[in-house]
Structure formats: C-alpha cells, structure tokens
Structure 1
C-alpha cells in the first residue's frame, strides 16, 4: 500500500490471523504494510532469546522505511527486547509491544490502582523483557501458558480454537483480578490477543489495552 505510514515487522507464521490480530490488515482503520522476517517463528522469538534476530528485524525495518513507512511495529510483544536497537538503526519511531504502554497506563490510573499484564507465556516473560518496556517491578502478571491458545500460537499450528482461546483469556483475567484486586486496567502482551479484548473487559469490568489500542494512538502521531 503506497500510502501506508505504519510498517509491521511480522513473525514467520502460519497460524490463523483472525480479525483483531495485528497480523490481519483488516484489524486497522488505516493502511499498513507488512514485512515477514524469514525464520523468526514464535518458538524462536518467544521461547528463545530474540536478540540474535535483531539484525534481521533491522534489515526488514529499513526495507519498510525505504517503502515510505514513518513508523514501525511488530507482531510479537517479546520483541520489546529489540525495540531500542531497531529504532536507532531505522531512524523512525518503533512500537514493538503493548508492554510499552504499561508505564503510561500506570501514570493515569487512580491512586492505589496498577495495570496488570496477561502474557502468552509467563515462563518466558523475563525481568529483561519488562525492564526493556520500562514496566515497574512488581507489576502483576499472569500467563495462559497451559491453554490451547498458547499451544496453537507457540507451535505455529494451522488451526486455532477461537472460543477456547476466549475462555482462557477470560479465566486468566478473572484470576489476575482476584489475585490482585489493585489491578485497575489490563494489558494484553500478546499481539494475537486483541480479538478477545472486549470479552475480557466485559468479564472483569476493567479497561483492556492491547497492541491495537497502542498502534491506533501511535499511528495518529506519525508524520
């Protein structure tokens, strides 16, 4: 798309990209341009250290900038580890993860409330990821590691049980709020979770933020 200002660095995947997934162009009200990074699978980026892939993402980002993109995003929240390097090398703003919204959300919540995070893999979400996104230590986190959603995405399956995934998101969100009543807003780390954001908000009564809400604001600020 010639007029796309937002370029999206995409993992190399085959799982379904349903409406609301950042990898589905129909999820946006504005044009986007994608660039797949060959070999950058969910297993390589989420279950392993993504930093060896930084140069590949920089090369893809430069290609998108050369095509006219004035901002970059990614299709995996764990790439926040590479955000600063990609941004510096490509010379345009980069929004790599919904985790990067946590400090802004924390700043506007009422006193005594904090954001809570739902991640695809609590086992893999390290202090380094949270530090890279400037997330405060002690921010509540819960994962959906054992569910069908995580298995489908992380194994890059060709099918996805959408109703089961939605149930798992709701269950995790309710557990997060039960364990941490101070949670006043929920952030969905995974870029494949936004299709379930409204269901999570309805189930918990908390506002839900995702890579889509982040990118809507991010895109509006691009020149």
Structure 2
C-alpha cells in the first residue's frame, strides 16, 4: 500500500491504523554526536525516499562496535517495535555490527529486517568469477568477530581490513575523541584500508563496506581499487525497492 488506499477497490477506502504514512523504512540509529555528512546513513538527505529514524538511547558506537552491544538487545527491540507502530514496514540499522541482532529483531517485529551491510556479501560473491572473493572494509577489524560474520551469512575466512590505525575515521566515529571530523582524512583512512585489503589479498574481486558511515567514500574506494564497491546505501536501496516497486507505464 503506497498511500493507505486499497488497490482495485470500487471506491477509494483509506486504510487507517498507523501514525505515519508514506515512510515504509525505519532506521535504528546509534546514539552519537559526530557529523553525518551527505551519504552517511544518518543524514536524511542521503536517501531518495523518506525514512523514519529512531535513536536507541545508550547505544554508543563504542558499546556496539567495541563491546559487542552487550545488554542492548531489549533496547533495540523496543525501538524497532516503536518504528513499526509508527508505520515502518521494514527495519534496518545504522551499524553493520548489529548483524548480531538480526534473528532476534526479525522475530520480534514480524516485518522484514536487514541489520547489516554485511548481508550483501553472499549476494556479491555469487556475481564473481571462480577464484575471486568478496573483501570487507570495516571500521574495526579487531572486533568484527566470527559471530558477526556468521549472523550475516559471511564466510568466516572472508578477507577484511579495518580503519583502527587511521588518523581520523576511527578516532571520531568510535573513540568519540571530538565532535568534528576532517572529511578528507576520514576518506583517506577508508581508501587506505581498502588498498591494504587488495594488496594483502590478490583474489579480492569486490568490496563490501561494513560501516554505515562509509558510503560518502565508496566512490573514492572504487576509483582507488578499480573494484565494485557495495555499502549500506546499495543494500537499503535494494531493500526499499521491494517495499515500493517502481510502477512502469
């Protein structure tokens, strides 16, 4: 239903039962203060369609990325249910590390849920020729565990690199050392991680960016590596396309 009307009805009957209409996708947000530039999942202008946001109190990047989101599942379930109550028909999140909650969130809200950009890895792998693999660029390779990968359907031996040793991206987003961010330095951190990935693993034929703050730099990664690059923007665009298929003719 795109506008609350029953298609094909002899008369136009508007369907009620929701608080908000025309916004089928809900996004669960971490609680953070760093700038969300154009292309970032948390910048509403990034999306060519409207989205519903819900910030999960206490879910800092440090707690989710470095501490395994311990104790936060009930808060995410409550926030997801609130988005569905408001009108969301599907749920996603703004941290790839929340793949840990994929099964529980989907069971709790009874609507489609896509928690992590990492869920694209099996899809992208299917497009590659024999002998090539999907590589992952993550904000924190040290804490992206087999449990995170398994929950997203990612092979446990998937090659990956992180941004922990960069000059800006990790320091601002995860360590919260400051509110402002040098965008050029952040971009270089992500590109450097991708270049290190392909230098270390010659069989990488495509890249998936785990972090939902990386889409602003996806084009730079593609240009630097010459490989296809997928991120949360590509996944959510696909996800939304199923909620509101394009009408032709």
Whether the 8 Å CA contact 2:63–2:70 is kept in 1: the answer is no
- Which deviates more from structure 2 when the two are superposed, residues 110-119 or residues 150-159? 150-159
Match among 63, 68, 91 for residue 87 of structure 2? 68
d(CA) in 2 for partners of 1:181 and 1:85?
36
d(CA) in 2 for partners of 1:6 and 1:71?
5
Question: Where does the alignment leave 5 or more consecutive residues of structure 2 unmatched?
Answer: 1-19, 245-249
After superposition, the C-alpha distances for 1:135-177 in whole angstroms (9 at most, x for unaligned) are 0121100011122100100123311111001111111111111
Q: Does 1:111 align with 2:130?
A: yes
Whether the 8 Å CA contact 1:115–1:139 is kept in 2: the answer is yes
After superposition, the C-alpha distances for 1:111-152 in whole angstroms (9 at most, x for unaligned) are 111100000001111111111111012110001112210010
Task: Look up the match of 1:83.
Answer: 102
Q: CA deviation at 1:222?
A: 1.9
Match among 29, 39, 52 for residue 20 of structure 1? 39
For 1:221, what is the secondary structure of its paired residue? helix
- Which deviates more from structure 2 when the two are superposed, residues 166-175 or residues 31-40? 166-175
Q: How many residues align?
A: 223
Q: Does 1:154 align with 2:183?
A: no
d(CA) in 2 for partners of 1:180 and 1:153?
27
Whether the 8 Å CA contact 2:195–2:224 is kept in 1: the answer is yes
Whether the 8 Å CA contact 1:173–1:200 is kept in 2: the answer is yes
Larger Rg: 2
d(CA) in 1 for partners of 2:48 and 2:205?
28
Task: Look up the match of 1:7.
Answer: 26
d(CA) in 1 for partners of 2:164 and 2:198?
18
Q: If the length of structure 1 is used for normalisation, what is the TM-score?
A: 0.97
Task: Look up the match of 1:56.
Answer: 75
Match among 203, 216, 221 for residue 182 of structure 1? 203
5 Å matches for 1:136-155?
136-147=155-166, 148-155=168-175
Q: Does 1:42 align with 2:61?
A: yes
Runs of 4+ more than 2 Å apart: none
Match among 219, 223, 228 for residue 207 of structure 1? 228
Report 1 or 2 for greater relative contact order, CA contacts < 8 Å, sequence distance ≥ 6: 1
For 1:185, what is the secondary structure of its paired residue? strand
d(CA) in 2 for partners of 1:179 and 1:40?
33
